[in-house]
Every structure is written in C-alpha cells, then in structure tokens.
Amino acid sequence: MNFTLTKDQLHWQSAAHKFAQEVVAPIARKMDEECTMPISIIEKMASLGFLGGSVSKDFGGTGMDSLSLVLTYIELGRACSSVRGFMTVHSSLVMKCIEQSGSQEQKKEFLPRLASAGLIGCYALTEPEAGSDAASIKTRAEKTNGGYILNGEKIWITNANLAHLAIVFAKLPATEGAKPHSSITAFLVDTNSEGFIRTKMPGKELGHRASDHAHITFKNCFVPEGRVLGGENNGFKVAMSALDHGRLGVAAGALGVHQACLDTCVDFVRARKQFGSRIGDFEMVQAVIAEMKTSLEASRLLVYNAAWKKDQGENCTLETSMAKLHATEAAVEAANEAVLLHGGRGYSNKYPVERYLRDIKGLQIYEGTSHIQKIVIARQVIGK
C-alpha cells in the first residue's frame, strides 16, 4: 500500500477543503440552529463535481477513485456532518447502487441528472421494526398489470423530503420456507408518485440537524415494471453492497469530525491561560492531545486502507467495517474530550465542539451501529 496521494487525489482534497472551509464552515452553526441546508450548497457540490464523484464519466460522473471520494468526505465532515451525510447518501448509496445494479437504460436515465443535482436521491431501507435486521422489513410489493403496488412505511430516510428519486426495498410474496431476505426487491420510485407520502420526522434530532430526515408511507403506490433495480428478489444483495459504500463514507466523515475536534482543541489550548500558563503546557492536557492525535492517525490508516482495497477491486467488507467501527468510536472519544477540555465553553454553542459531539453520536448508528460492525468483523474473521 502506498498512501502517497496522487495529483488527482490532491486536487479533490484541495477542492473539497476550499469548499468546506470557505462555503460550508461559515454557515455550519446557522444550519444546525435552523435545521436546514440551503439548496445552493447542493448545487455547488454538483458544479464542483463532488456529487458525481462515485460514478464513471460515461454516466455524467467525475470518476473519482475511492480514496479521492474518501478525502472529499473527510473535508466535508470536518466542516459539517449534515453536508457530508447528504453527499454520502446521494452519491455512495443511491448513485453507486444504480451504477452497480442498474440496467443500461436506468443508468443513462438517472445517473447524469443525479450527478448534476437535477435529481436528488434517497435510499429507503429502514423501517420502524427493521433497522439493524434489514431482512425483517415489512413493506410489501405486489405484482399488478404493468408493474408493482407498494404498501408499507420507512423511517429516518435521509434526503427524502428533498428527493425526486428513491431506492425502495420491499418484499414480494415469498415462497414457502424461503429465507426472510430472499424475497426482498429494490425499486426505483418517483417520489411524486401517487401513494408516496412523506413527512418530516417528528422531534428535533440530537445531531445532524441540517439533514433532511423523513417518514415515508406507501399507500398503493404504483411502480412500473421497468423500475426494478437489480432484478426481482435480489434486493438484499443490492442493499448490502450499497451499505459497504455508505459505511466507508461514514468512516471518512467520522475522521473529519475527529480532525475538527483536534484542530479546535489545539487552537484552544494554545490560547487559553490558567494559573499563569497556557493550558497546553499542562501535562494532563498534553496527554489528551497526544491520544487524540494518535487515535486520529490510526483511524486514517484504516479508512485509507479500506479505500485502497476497494480500488484494487477486492472485497473490502472487513476493512470497511473495521474502519467504520474504529473511526466512529475514536471520534466519539475525541469529541467527549474536546467538550471537557473546553470546560464551560464546550457546553455551549459558542464553540463548535458541542455540535461535533452531537453529530458523531449519529455516525455510531448510521449504516450499521458499532454493535453490528463488531458482528460483521467477527463473522469475517471466524467464518460463518
């Protein structure tokens, strides 16, 4: 493995850093307080080529390699987890899923418009009784003349109130004795379809407050037969491959939050004085900074390694789960320490560390909780 960044990778890292620090960071606090993301942020990401980063130039994308995409996510996560979250869902879940599993007609129809933000996508898997156990989804699909009828509901679907296109997972009638996941099918659903009902999730999220999260209800929602993604009864495979992409994006986002915690803490301990000295000269504070930096670099190597293996065309499920587990848990610890180090200032929104702490808790959960990652890792190592 050679993690010396190429010219292209440095280009994407630099472009993402500039955008994140000059456009996103100045309004991150406002977006968090107002619980909204300006559409101009999304349009700018499209114009810079970020949204199309996950797919090839043949379908309107920018054809980034996995490490370039990871570097982009790190910089976005460093400024605002909600912006990074939008892009991960839109690009790594929706667009990559269509590129890998879609027909040529589906790719040509949707990918260029998704890359340009002419369409916004969402990924509808989670249900009230189906989170970590994706095979237990209850949304049903029934064949009808010319297509399918969907009935059921989804929750915590990121981007869904903004989205024009949803990848929806539902179960066709199963044969007797079939495994729970074997009848799951993925559908490409126009969100303006009759019977596609979406509302904002009730309550105020702990973190990722600028993200759009929706509750979707399907009431006899018709989907044309040409909108099956990846073939009937192959939905579970489609879903799991997409989650591998999403988990790498989450791991990179956690690395960005961790980096932001360290940056803020270093600035603070250099400037803050107590007992006649800057607090950065106190050994206990130095120990916190040393551990924060060391765990950050360990996370970086795990995330880069997962991206590198993906670029080699190898199965990277184990590496991606290890990266997500370590990067999120290390960033939670870093955010905890950042708030503590800032004292009373860290407990208010005068400093961004309280937002980092709220946001990183979500990354422990999204795309498979830390508990699920441990199961995935253990099964990969031990064997089923």
Catalytic machinery residues: 367
| Strand pairing category for 121-124 and 165-171 | parallel
C-alpha to C-alpha distance for 233 and 131, rounded to whole angstroms: 19
Count Cα neighbours of 372 within 13 Å in the Cβ-side half-sphere.
Answer: 18
Rounded (10°) CA dihedral 44, 46, 51, 56 = -150
Query: Are the C-beta atoms of 325 and 373 separated by less than 8 Å?
Result: yes
> In degrees rounded to 5, what are phi and psi of residue 229?
-105, 115
Both tokens of residue 328?
């999120």
Query: Which residue in 307, 317, 322, 138 sits closest to 240, CA to CA?
Result: 317
The two structure tokens encoding residue 246:
């999403």
- How far apart are alpha carbons 134 and 136 in whole angstroms? 5
φ, ψ of residue 246 to 5 degrees: the values are -65, -40
